[in-house]
Structure 1
């Protein structure tokens, strides 16, 4: 099955979502240029993959230094292209990259070292797993965190010895151009980091071009299409998809801490985070003490153009389509009986701004608690018990993140262990996204596989099993041809020894 592009020769014109001003443009790739990029990456990968892990780590540490030196440039670009407040550009798009580079530079040799396998049955043989680069990794990145999510995957693939072809979102290609330049200036071979630009058809062409692994971050609907393409071609893949994270504020919660956490967890990046709090479940015993304070804190959030001021808490939504989605979800909730405690409207003027919103009297028939919102809206539901909160938390078809607030550590862990989500945090929100050593991945329709963590790095490699003779002087094995009747009694005695109640324990793996 081949893929044809809808548009063969055009450009992506990028304008600020905050003020509409022109920021830059890039050419849209063709089928031929996508294939050329993959070919170039494939030709460059063997030399990069043949370097020792330590040599690759040294290059990646130079990348870290280059990013550090260009922090202001990266933050400024994020403010203009993506509308990010400068604090978020610094923390979410720079610091997270520096931390990931630091962790894997220190740990990749350990993580990718051969892993021995204790042999239980075949005591005369020895086994180990070696981790080798997959080849060319395709990364299809989202617009909400173009550096953290896009280049987090790029960096991990390079640590593992792969070459990378990155397809950034059509809304944030300038971030990819900037970071690619900085990576190459730091010493990453130019051939091993390619970028192709365009819409979904360019992503499809990339998958169709013979890559060895695909990492996709985006919506559930698009993720299903990407996974189907990968399945048809038997390409291993990781799908990081949507979330509908519940936050459970229990009756014994530290309300001051919960307030700060919910405020940030619901409204950071204007709610355009797959791990955002999109369902707030508050125990009835603390509901009246908690919700009015939350509303007052939300009303105080400062919304505006981050490219013009650093004193901004929330920027715009990424485009008019996302603004319309958020507005429609709120309108649906209000039509079905929800109360707008604050916000609930578009902000007039240039840019795609929506007022930070809290909805109360929310019920399960409303789209706002069932569909991913990806905007600055927190719907609040009152629950009467721990059991009810857990039941509601698990009702969603998505299972990426969840949050529990309680003063009791044991209670928090007990509740967390009953919630079906890839990560459950107790008394905090979002922050494990910056902890490269922890896994990031979803359950149910929130995705397949994981990124970050030791397991995520190994997943970017081929795991090859090597089995060799530990007793090289044996001339044959008992079970080889020719089969002889005289050997059957011996085989029976051996099986009794292995699996009976006698000496079988001696054959247990140590």
Structure 2
């Protein structure tokens, strides 16, 4: 996800961080920025608390953390209202995407973590008298730097996974949406988690840097590619692992046999949900020339039906833009496309400027690959649709990007859909659907190219929050000495040569 969590909005008092409603400009509240000294103190308190927490087995940790789900359900409407007020997404999206998504994550891993993190036996093909096991041990203190586009689901989901793995957490949320993070931590504390085990610090980029350079053991960062490189470099200097969730420029390939009614609805939701501020958003569409015009007509028709405005209104489909910079990006990309010959089919304007930050859901046609709207991540409600000759051209253009998080294919032929999906260079490719894979906890969320490193969710994602420890021990019997120990000499050499020929010599000329 490319929400620039490290960027600051305009503030007055450098020690105070104000939170504003992007739909109205209303001041929602303020938090005090942490100091570098407070960051260090938070990390040390977390480390002390983690020493006790890590001694609980994963099943007990999962049982205790399951109480978070009760708070989510009981306070769902309160939390959704806070998310909507601070991020500008609609009430429906706050509830279904952020709160329900976290509840499912808690439920899924809470019931399965003890199996996922159980010691794993590694069968040995030689040395059968010994046994090897892989153990998953907590890393210690995990630092999380989270974005504004999903100010509840991303930080609370990552915190939950880290805690479940036996770690402590120090979270620095985006300075654009600080209040939601405090509310999320409150849920964990009321669920019975020790206060020092999960701490929230507030600040801008300098506080994020202070957290990375403190005595933490791992970093989970969601933000821009540029800052992700800096985070990765800083972690490399300290030789600590990091998970980097960075940008996306998801391409949708629409084949000539696609169900155009379903495809048009999917593309509209995939491009404009959360005002396009999702790293998995449909940011470019490649449509076969035989169905291009009909697809455009259906997409425009669906877009015109959207209600755009007050995110608190339950009838609203598309809410506000959360971050001022994204309004500027949207205007720049639309202007660039029009100057180079593109046509605005619908939208293209900032609206309700006196009330807040809103940009119309926008469809662009007549675009080409050299336009910025096809190359730069927009993270705003833009959908450029490009006409292509065939599937080969579409796949080549889809892969012509430095980003590779999500990709989409639309076709009635499932075999073709799977075949094309395997050729798109992305961490995840969906066939005939959009966006929802972040909400599948058993599957990995990951990117290739500049979209990041590591993965979250899935068994692998949970294990990546642990230190893998290989233990090899004797079983059955223990020999007085091993044949490869000292002393060496002629006999040792002959034994080694004989063993080589016995084990590997018979079929050496036949290859594998």
- Provide TM-score, normalisation by structure 1: 0.96
Find the aligned partners of 2:13 and 2:134 in 1 and give their Cα distance. 44
8 Å CA contact retained: 2:311, 2:320: no
Alignment equivalent of 2:99, drawn from 85, 94, 98:
94
Residue 106 of structure 1 deviates from its aligned partner by: 1.1
Aligned equivalent of 1:263: 268
Residue 486 of structure 1 deviates from its aligned partner by: 2.1
Aligned equivalent of 1:456: 461
8 Å CA contact retained: 1:9, 1:30: no
Find the aligned partners of 1:69 and 1:88 in 2 and give their Cα distance. 18
| 1:281-430 alignment, distance < 5 Å | 281-307=286-312, 309-348=313-352, 349-430=354-435
Find the aligned partners of 1:329 and 1:289 in 2 and give their Cα distance. 25
Residue 7 of structure 1 deviates from its aligned partner by: 11
Find the aligned partners of 2:220 and 2:240 in 1 and give their Cα distance. 10
Aligned equivalent of 1:26: 31
Residue 356 of structure 1 deviates from its aligned partner by: 0.7
Alignment equivalent of 2:247, drawn from 232, 242, 246:
242
| Greater displacement, 248-257 / 296-305 | 296-305
Instruction: Verify: 1:211 aligned to 2:216, yes or no.
Output: yes
Over the residues paired in the alignment, what is the CA RMSD in angstroms? 1.8
Find the aligned partners of 1:165 and 1:60 in 2 and give their Cα distance. 17
Residue 151 of structure 1 deviates from its aligned partner by: 0.9
Aligned equivalent of 2:54: 49
8 Å CA contact retained: 2:57, 2:114: no
| CA gap 1:50/1:443 in 2 versus in 1, 3 angstroms | same
8 Å CA contact retained: 2:117, 2:463: yes
Aligned equivalent of 1:151: 156
8 Å CA contact retained: 2:261, 2:298: no
8 Å CA contact retained: 1:8, 1:29: no
Q: Which runs of 5+ in 2 are unaligned?
A: 1-7
Q: Secondary structure at the match of 1:179?
A: helix
Q: Secondary structure at the match of 2:412?
A: coil
Alignment equivalent of 2:451, drawn from 443, 446, 449:
446
Find the aligned partners of 2:200 and 2:62 in 1 and give their Cα distance. 22
Find the aligned partners of 1:317 and 1:90 in 2 and give their Cα distance. 18
8 Å CA contact retained: 2:130, 2:472: yes
Residue 57 of structure 1 deviates from its aligned partner by: 0.8
Find the aligned partners of 1:170 and 1:219 in 2 and give their Cα distance. 15
Find the aligned partners of 1:40 and 1:489 in 2 and give their Cα distance. 59
Aligned equivalent of 2:71: 66
Q: Which runs of 5+ in 1 are unaligned?
A: none
8 Å CA contact retained: 1:8, 1:28: no
Alignment equivalent of 2:499, drawn from 471, 494, 502:
494
| 1:165-204 alignment, distance < 5 Å | 165-204=170-209
Residue 479 of structure 1 deviates from its aligned partner by: 1.1
8 Å CA contact retained: 1:8, 1:30: no
Deviations 1:114-152 (A, max 9, x none): 111111232232111000100000010000001111111
8 Å CA contact retained: 1:343, 1:356: yes
Aligned equivalent of 2:4: none
| Greater displacement, 221-230 / 372-381 | 221-230
Find the aligned partners of 1:131 and 1:211 in 2 and give their Cα distance. 18
Deviations 1:50-93 (A, max 9, x none): 11211111111111111111100111001111111011001111
- Provide TM-score, normalisation by structure 2: 0.95
Instruction: Verify: 1:137 aligned to 2:139, yes or no.
Output: no
Deviations 1:355-411 (A, max 9, x none): 110000101111111110000000010111111111011001100000000001100
Residue 471 of structure 1 deviates from its aligned partner by: 4.6
Find the aligned partners of 2:478 and 2:218 in 1 and give their Cα distance. 41
